Amino acid sequence: MTWLDVPAPWAMRLQDAASPNQEGIHELYDHIMFYLALVLGLVSYMTIVIVKDFTKNKFAHKQLRHGQTLEIIWTMFPALILLLMSFPSFILLYLSDEVLTPALTVKIVGLQWYWKYEYSDFVNKTGETLEYESYIMPDDMLEEGNTRLLDTDTSIVLPVDTHVRFIVTANDVMHSFAVPSLGIKIDATPGRLNQVSTLMERTGVFYGQCSELCGVNHALMPMKMQCVTMEDFLTYLSELSE
Amino acid sequence: MSGTEAAANSTYSFRDHTTGKPTTTYSSAMSSPFDIKTFKFDTPQFDPRFPHVNQTKHCAQNYVDYHKCVAVKGEDFEPCQIFWKTFTSLCPVDWVERWDDQREAGKFPVKIE
């Protein structure tokens, strides 16, 4: 099975989900699309009928000033549609905000124009927190199969099937941390710590881009996330702590 | 000895955040704290005082609490470690360094003693 985890040429739909949040977003998207199709059909049908009936008919409904029933219908109907869309939307919104029983905290700091990742639950042999920076892979260093403007030199490595809490902040100007496959997008604001969580359900490599205009190299600070098995994650941590 | 130095000792442990007691202790004699057989995750859990997306005060409060705790009970008082674990997991390293400098210069905005 191949997953769509990177932007593809002419891709029209969302990337495949890797977390329950993004699955929820897909479901909401489909749900809202249903009402969209319904409204589109109804409006098109009515437009066609009206145009058909009233063209070349100068005297049609000459005496019609107002219609209370019609007013009630065209007020209530859109209100009902909006209500039907808002409930699943709010449920998803507030569920996505919950950070319950995280197993791991990773700090993400946005800087002009790179990201810094801190694994402060763990320390290296000298007692310092595990941290490193992540820069974009320059075009002339790209290899076959790499994604331009998305690949980085180092990536966030995280274990699969584990609740991860991200603490997102910035050190200079506002940035925004976003990973579409996981349904994450949160502002990185200097002086403030924002919290967001995820649960990755499959291993893979997920990409994201800074989503808040932060200066000339705003487009050149992507984030790359590798979701690996627990064994590989622990190997990575022990290598990092050397 | 500051909290960072405490962790720099050859022995360090992960703590249960509900009880504050050590769950597993690792020493430099052991191969690695990242052995899959013994590895346990340990990170600050949900705190009802800070239920929001904004966790700035969660970090700051635990930094202050740790230093107040240490000022009263001393470095070796085990329950203070829960504050240390929490603020190190939540606060960016740069922030902690800045606050440490401010405390040393006597310019930290919160009274620790």
Q: What is the H or E stretch that residue A207 is in?
A: strand A204-209
Nearest CA in chain B to A106: B89
Q: Does B48 touch chain A (CB under 8 A)?
A: no
Under an 8 A CB cutoff, do B46 and A231 touch? Answer: no
- Write down the domain spans for chain B: 3-40+50-104
Query: For residues B59 and B89, what is the distance between their CA atoms, to the nearest angstrom?
Result: 8
State the CATH architecture for A104-240: Sandwich (2.60)
- Residue range A19-31, pLDDT digits in tens: 999 999 999 999 9
Name which of A183-187, A193-197, B109-113 the model is least confident about.
B109-113
Q: What is the pLDDT, as a whole number, of residue A80? A: 94
Measured CA distances, A233 to A3, A140, A230, B36, B100 (Å) = 21, 30, 5, 10, 32
Mutation choice for A interface testing from B5, B10, B38, B43 by most A CBs within 10 A: B43
Beta pairing class for B12-15 and A156-159: unpaired
Residue A19 Cα distances to A26, A72, A179, A206, B59, angstroms:
11, 42, 11, 11, 27
Q: Report CB contact under 8 Å: A231, B36.
A: yes
Write out residues 53-92 of B within 8 Å (CB-CB) of A: 53-56, 58-59, 88-92
CATH number of B3-40+50-104: 1.10.10.140
Over range A216-223, report the average pLDDT: 95
Question: Touching check for B15 and chain A: CB below 8 Å?
Answer: no
Each residue's pLDDT tens digit in chain B (113 positions)?
344 444 443 344 444 445 555 444 444 444 567 888 888 898 999 999 999 999 999 999 999 999 999 999 988 899 999 999 999 999 999 999 999 999 999 999 998 87
- Model ipTM? 0.83
Rounded to 5°, angle at Cα A190 from A185 and A191: 115
B109 and A CB contact within 8 Å: no
Q: CA B55 to CA B43: how far, in whole Å?
A: 14
Contacts of A194 in chain B (CB under 8 A): 53-55
User: Cβ–Cβ of B45/A107 closer than 8 Å?
Assistant: no
* Interchain contact A234–B (C-beta under 8 A): yes
DSSP 8-state code for residue B19: T
CATH 2.60.40.420 domain residues, chain A: 104-240
Compute the nearest-CA separation of A85 from chain B (Å): 24
Compute the distance between CA of residue A106 and CA of residue A119 in angstroms, rounded to an integer. 5
The yes-or-no verdict on residue A241 having pLDDT over 90 is no
- Block residue for tokens 């990092």: A240
Q: Is B32 on the interface with A (CB under 8 A)?
A: yes
